Structure 1
């Protein structure tokens, strides 16, 4: 079941087994009126280039956010994204595991300033419980990528600084260069699709819908107002709303998947 509801600036999506809520800081009073406000949850505080990842375990998400917003050092927070289970059942082991995984994802995929003092808590979690937590996390990412126009990990495209120094790569005797990291990714993918050998391999990874952070090539452009995509060939769009760190990761992954020896020049 999928259920979507927009209340003021608060965006709520329910898709078994997950509930995802995206809200502005000013929506806290209306959040307190919702049933799921009493649930434990994992959350991301967002503002500018800063992010803080936390959890509400043993207390409600509404109370935990209230505690944050009372602190002057959290004045930078503009909005919140949090997720929980539809049935509201999350143990401390669940929230510890998911918080730690989310912190790791942000460190690996983005250039945001993560203001957490630690990498998260460690609690024992058995295999079955871990599998259920992973299922919840995957459902949340599906909601973010396929339903909500929320770009959790990537920075906004126009924030990439254009420099006089070029980003470049070499492969198969070719040299590509661009003044931006994303421009280099676009050029690389266009070249690969122009080569019959690589194009045939890449077609296997093209999804029939819009591209996402995980599936970067799609048959449809991303919706207006959402993460950016660029046409790289007729009927093929490339997801481009990546941080510089994520761009490099995606280029290296493409090269590995296609068994290409690539040499990257990076700022």
Structure 2
């Protein structure tokens, strides 16, 4: 029981609730106002939760207990709240308005999210499913610090796409929304392969040829940047290579400049390096 100047607040609300299908939770308090000069009909008890003041009503079964039926927003799993009491005191022929406030409390839902990842490894761009309960469209997955494209399948399942991260490593997976961040496991990213429409490139100076880059799965959120370097940079002209999000291929033109021979070195996060011989003659 916590006491203010003239008012005692006994919070009879559980600190934790199990999630229910209605998503409503009873917040209850038993305030005791001391003094014979209190105008009993003037007493008004409220709860301030999520920054909003809500009127509390006397319980029909417990005459000294005030209750508010709180509808928890679907994207939350906890809420902070406090109680307040406004009342009048009749003293020396005058009415004096009084206000008392309780400390801050926290209400938490337990077992709202019972999480596990259906696999523990996969390549960049692979869809991975997260199993739990109470999911909403506001929920997101972060892998190794990188936001993953996340899709709500239903209230019990989320699907996310492994983002572009270096292969052959394990990364932490976090479930995130506006109110919480929770680690749900780790996942290993396996190396994938970048395919090219040719095994080698041969072109003459001042001519162009088409290169088509292809990956096995749609590019993840933000797309896939492919780093293409060469040991004969003065002999070719080549634009940036980027596969857009959701796509699997991109076509670019490479131009020959001066005669030489060497190689293209093709790299991307989560992919094996590919070496392609190139000749300009």
Instruction: Indicate the TM-score class for this superposition, using the shorter chain for normalisation.
Output: under 0.3
TM (norm. structure 2) is 0.23
TM (norm. structure 1) is 0.23
Larger relative contact order (Cα-Cα within 8 Å, sequence gap ≥ 6): 1
The structure where strand makes up a greater share of residues is: 2
The structure where helix makes up a greater share of residues is: 1
Q: Bigger radius of gyration, 1 or 2?
A: 2
